């Protein structure tokens, strides 16, 4: 009997939840983007890179910066095709130019496009429509996943509407701009831990972003750790973001933060092994209900464990040989 792959058996006819790396590393200059790609290749594609047009481009050199990103996206250094681009925000005159250069130039390669600082869902809708038109004009057949930064009061108020827009893959929470929008009511100390997790207004905002993301089948991504070289602080922040608020992704702004984020968010190895055993039994049973260690399992738990072991694979966790052969060969 031919064995049905879990992706075909468990998500037939519906959109599966995105399984993407836990870490998203930001780089703006050509030097830092190149170094990030070299590290990504060395680590075997364990994290995404966001090439930044917004904060990365020098004033007056926005066009040249976008063209540089296209050149690197199309270079041999971009081995894993796991690099997105953050364009300028809606209020900036250069955002359409970013799209006009990047989509036709590297639309087949870019992993996603990140939209920063919207204040209304209507702005995001307009920007996505413009990206979609650019994709169509360029003759590109794929959808380009969209990430949106929730970092203003207006975006937080309309986060459900934003999460429901087409091509959405990630909602990013932007801590520092959000705090700035409180005009001193939230102290600067809350840009770091423990305040960023303990202040009631920030807890409410993070929970709202995460809940909206899951309600619409997109990934919630957490803000950066400002303490660049303290790897344990990055680990602790990523762990709290994941365990307390459900974030499945976090930004890195310094290379040593990458592994700490992956370590904090990746699945428990023992649970991964159990999940592999359950999925193998389920596949042998043609995805009907099974018993495992005295517990009943069906398609609901199969979906959970399938996503779990996909994340484990992305994190470079070593899977049991039989699971590797059946599901990833």
Identify whether residues 130 and 213 lie together within a single domain.
yes
Asked whether residue 254 is assigned to any structural domain, the reply reads yes
Residue 13 confidence (pLDDT): 67
Residue 140 confidence (pLDDT): 96
Identify whether residues 192 and 272 lie together within a single domain.
no
pLDDT tens track for 14-69? 778 999 999 999 999 999 999 999 999 999 999 999 999 998 778 889 999 999 99
Residue 228 confidence (pLDDT): 86
Percent of the chain exceeding pLDDT 90 equals 90
Asked whether residue 18 is assigned to any structural domain, the reply reads no
Note whether 295 and 287 are within 8 A (CB).
no
Block means of pLDDT (10 residues each) for the chain, length 329 residues?
85 81 95 96 95 87 96 96 97 96 97 97 98 97 97 97 98 95 95 96 98 97 93 96 97 95 94 95 94 92 94 91 93
Of 49, 53, 89, 239, the closest CA to residue 174 belongs to 89
Note whether 97 and 64 are within 8 A (CB).
no
Residue 96 confidence (pLDDT): 97
Identify whether residues 250 and 289 lie together within a single domain.
no
Of 265, 288, 304, which residue constitutes the final position of a domain?
A: 265
Of 232, 265, 298, which residue constitutes the final position of a domain?
A: 265
Identify whether residues 165 and 305 lie together within a single domain.
no
Asked whether residue 187 is assigned to any structural domain, the reply reads yes
Distance between CA atoms of residues 62 and 41, nearest Å: 27
Identify whether residues 124 and 159 lie together within a single domain.
yes
Residue 218 confidence (pLDDT): 97
pLDDT tens track for 214-230? 999 999 999 999 998 89
> Where in the sequence is the domain holding 162, given as residue range(s)?
23-265
Q: At what angle do helices 121-137 and 95-106 cross, to 10 degrees?
A: 40
Residue 3 confidence (pLDDT): 87
The three-point CA angle 175-176-177 to 5° equals 100
Asked whether residue 17 is assigned to any structural domain, the reply reads no
Beta bridge partners of 85: 51, 113
Of 232, 247, 265, which residue constitutes the final position of a domain?
A: 265
Asked whether residue 108 is assigned to any structural domain, the reply reads yes
Identify whether residues 248 and 317 lie together within a single domain.
no
Q: Which two tokens stand for residue 189?
A: 């100390």
């Amino acid at each position: 009997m031919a064995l049905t792959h879990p992706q075909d058996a468990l998500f037939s006819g519906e959109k599966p939840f995105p399984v993407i790396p836990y870490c998203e590393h930001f780089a703006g200059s050509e030097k830092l983007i190149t170094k990030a790609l070299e590290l990504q290749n060395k680590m075997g594609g364990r994290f995404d890179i966001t090439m930044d047009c917004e904060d990365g481009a020098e004033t007056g050199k926005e066009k040249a910066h976008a063209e540089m990103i296209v050149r690197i996206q199309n270079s041999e250094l971009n081995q894993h095709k796991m690099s997105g681009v953050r364009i300028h925000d809606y209020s900036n005159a250069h955002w359409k130019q970013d799209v006009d250069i990047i989509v036709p130039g590297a639309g087949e390669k870019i992993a996603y496009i990140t939209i920063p600082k919207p204040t209304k869902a209507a702005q995001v809708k307009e920007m996505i429509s413009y990206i979609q038109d650019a994709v169509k004009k360029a003759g590109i057949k794929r959808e380009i996943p969209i990430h949106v930064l929730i970092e203003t009061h207006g975006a937080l108020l309309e986060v459900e509407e934003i999460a429901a827009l087409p091509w959405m893959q990630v909602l990013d929470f932007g801590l520092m701009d959000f705090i700035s929008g409180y005009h001193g009511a939230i102290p600067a100390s809350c840009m770091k831990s423990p305040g960023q997790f303990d202040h009631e207004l920030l807890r409410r905002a993070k929970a709202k972003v995460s809940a909206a993301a899951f309600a619409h089948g997109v990934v919630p991504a957490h803000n950066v750790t400002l303490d660049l070289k303290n790897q344990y602080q990055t680990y602790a922040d990523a762990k709290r973001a994941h365990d307390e608020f459900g974030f499945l992704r976090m930004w890195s702004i310094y290379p040593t933060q990458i592994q700490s984020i992956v370590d904090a968010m990746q699945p428990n190895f023992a649970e991964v092994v159990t999940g592999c055993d359950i999925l193998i039994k389920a596949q042998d049973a043609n995805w009907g209900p099974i018993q495992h260690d005295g517990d009943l399992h069906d398609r609901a738990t199969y979906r959970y464990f399938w996503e779990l072991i996909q994340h484990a694979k992305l994190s470079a966790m070593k899977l049991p040989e039989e699971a590797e052969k059946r599901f990833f060969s």
